[in-house]
Structure 1
Amino acid sequence: MTTSHEPAARPDPAPYVARSTTDLVVMAPLVMGFHPRDSVVLLTFGDGGPGFHARVDLPTDLGSQQEVAATLLPPCVEHGTRRAAVLLHTDDAEAARSQAVLLVEALLAVGVDVLDVVRVEEGRWFPVPEDGDPGTAYDLSTHPFTARHVFEGRTVRRDRDEVAASLVGSDDADLTAVTLAATRAADDLLLSTRPVRAVLRPEGRWLQRRLRRSVLDREPMSAADAGRVLALVGVAEVRDVALAEVERSNAQHHVEVWRALVRRCPESLLPGACGVLALAAWQAGDGALAWCAVDRAVEVDPDDPVAESVAQLLLGAVSPVTWRPPRGEELPLFRG
């Protein structure tokens, strides 16, 4: 079962204010960043404003549907969720009905007021349980929420697979050049006769400067610099330097930098780069991308600590505002 608690696609814009079921249906792909398919989408709302939003694969067997309800409940309790809407994106009316029963019962049991329960097909939604209602048509392309989304420069991917595909490069010649550069950089680190800290500290300072430059100028890195960066974030103490550069104010820029690096990254170094991308995507409010980065990292190293940490943040629907990156001499690499 794939679970992804996905916060709104960006932290800064004002929240959408839904005044109808159609508004909720249109809002789901906009806050997720992609069009859900065969999914349970939970939109939550607290007394203080917008809550977290979550997407889980919709299973068809009872046991897995019970797991879905059990998975979605703890974040609601943790965040003091007062109201929620349940959207079941599927053509399978029976699977939607049975999942809705289990999830709604669980939500009501912890005091969550369920505003709406609907099954969503492309261009039409149906109340659950269904009673022969022909459903209500909606047009995502003409809805005011969509117009605002486009005006703010945000996009919606076709589905989650398209989000994952955005992390896979297609330039074989560039991949070869970056791989050679990464190998040279790694060899320089390994073959040095100086103390480890004496080798890594200046590399960490270089990494700081290079990332800050990329965030400002938005220019692609050379193959030499990309390989060096990717080799460095394969070292835990140096990766901490990259992680500390990410904050809410610059998170989207770091997403762009690290997505490009992941697309150019040799497979063996993916955990380091994907871990930083996952954290940046979480900070930017792009839970779908964060999960895809986590997935790519653990495909290579199932025990990668940063990927595991970000996964726990996503599963717990932890707000990005809780992140307090270490500064300057607080980083272990730069102490003393």
Structure 2
Amino acid sequence: MKRAQPRRPPQPTLRLDSRDPQELLGLIPYLLGFRPEESFVLLLFRGSELLLSARVDLPPAAGAGQLADYGHALAVAHEATGAVAVAFGADFAAATALLDRWRARWARAERARPSCVLHDVLYADGEHWWSRTTAFGRSRTAGVPYDPRASGAAAAAVMAGLPALSSRSELEASVAGPAEPDRPALAALAARAVRDLDQLDVQARQITMVEAVHAGLAAEPSDEACARLAVLAAAIDARDAAWSMITLDRADDHVALWRRVVRRTIDRYALGPLALTGAAAWVGGHGALLNCCVERGLRLDPSYSMITLLAELASSGIPPTLWHELGPRIREEVWSETG
């Protein structure tokens, strides 16, 4: 089972006046950033405010207890007052068996520590949905037709500029690095960047990074500029200077910049750009993208500290509003060391 993917909705706060399944099923792809398949999704609310969404690959029914305990712990930690669970999958029997066990375990957790009302437990196969909280929803033939693209919530998400890729694999591919035929030329650009930047001291590296980030935010960077950014990000001091530049209002711009760098960077220099893409994704509320960065980063180097930090942020569902506190602290630490 892949890592859970808690995701805070992008600012401003998303409120739902209705928990109609049609609306929720239309909104979920935009909350996750892709259209879920074989997935379990938990939505947590405080009143009408959607606090966060969390997704895992759909586990077998035997994993329901662990999944429910994790979800309930998230609900308690975030002081959620309501929850909706959805299983997306092709196998009605397997998915509904998981949901029924999950619901029973959630009820047990609620009896031990009441905190969060379970509003609905849904199964969806992409064309129909069933509610497991009603007797009607237990019949295989009783599915309610739905079109996730036809909901008002989906239309609002599109108007807000939220993306929904066709699958998680498409999202993974966006941070998978360059195509094999491009790698020799990109490796040569990286080697040239190393020669050009190798003699810079800490302060010069940080200033060069800041200038390069500003340029990359203003216009899509060339392959040569991507190589320089990646080589700079290999130095912790320069990487942290770029990290300190991320803000809540421009997080998506930093995502676009560093994802472009990741796509044009060979594995040897990919960790810094991956970490910065993941950090910007966390601040921007793009939990699925954050997890894709974490997963590739851990494959490249499981001891890389910024990737392990991002993994903790992802698994704990820590909200990006914490960046209001962390961002200024990181900026102060980065620049106080160099004056």
TM-score of the aligned structures, taking structure 1 as reference length:
0.89
SS in structure 1 of the partner of residue 201 of structure 2: helix
1:42 aligned partner = 42
- 1:139 corresponds, among 143, 147, 152, to 147
CA shift, 1:87, in A, is 0.8
* Larger displacement relative to structure 2 (4-13 or 222-231): 4-13
* Larger displacement relative to structure 2 (173-182 or 269-278): 173-182
- 2:119 corresponds, among 115, 123, 137, to 115
User: Mapping of 1:127-206 within 5 angstroms?
Assistant: 127-128=131-132, 130-132=137-139, 134-169=142-177, 174-187=182-195, 192=199, 199-206=201-208
Q: Check if 1:95 corresponds to 2:130.
A: no
Residue by residue over 1:284-321, the C-alpha shift from the partner in whole angstroms, topping out at 9 and shown as x without a partner, is 11100010011111110011111111111111111101
Structure 2: runs of 5 or more not aligned: none
Q: How far apart, in 1, do the equivalents of 2:153 and 2:263 lie? A: 31
* Larger displacement relative to structure 2 (156-165 or 90-99): 90-99
Q: How far apart, in 2, do the equivalents of 1:107 and 1:3 lie? A: 24
8 Å CA contact 2:22–2:148 kept in 1: the answer is: no
1:8 to 1:31, Cα distance in 2 relative to 1, 3 A: farther
8 Å CA contact 2:41–2:56 kept in 1: the answer is: yes
CA shift, 1:117, in A, is 0.8
Residue by residue over 1:115-151, the C-alpha shift from the partner in whole angstroms, topping out at 9 and shown as x without a partner, is 0011111111112164326111111122112222222
1:188 to 1:213, Cα distance in 2 relative to 1, 3 A: closer
TM-score of the aligned structures, taking structure 2 as reference length:
0.88
2:128 aligned partner = 124
8 Å CA contact 1:30–1:156 kept in 2: the answer is: yes
Q: Which amino acid is the alignment partner of residue 137 of structure 1?
A: P
Q: How far apart, in 2, do the equivalents of 1:145 and 1:226 lie? A: 37
Q: Check if 1:242 corresponds to 2:242.
A: yes
SS in structure 1 of the partner of residue 249 of structure 2: coil
Q: How far apart, in 1, do the equivalents of 2:261 and 2:26 lie? A: 33
8 Å CA contact 1:233–1:273 kept in 2: the answer is: yes
SS in structure 1 of the partner of residue 120 of structure 2: strand
8 Å CA contact 2:130–2:138 kept in 1: the answer is: no
8 Å CA contact 2:27–2:157 kept in 1: the answer is: no
1:57 to 1:236, Cα distance in 2 relative to 1, 3 A: same
CA RMSD of aligned residues (A): 2.3
Q: How many residues align?
A: 327
1:283 aligned partner = 283
Q: Which amino acid is the alignment partner of residue 203 of structure 2?
A: R
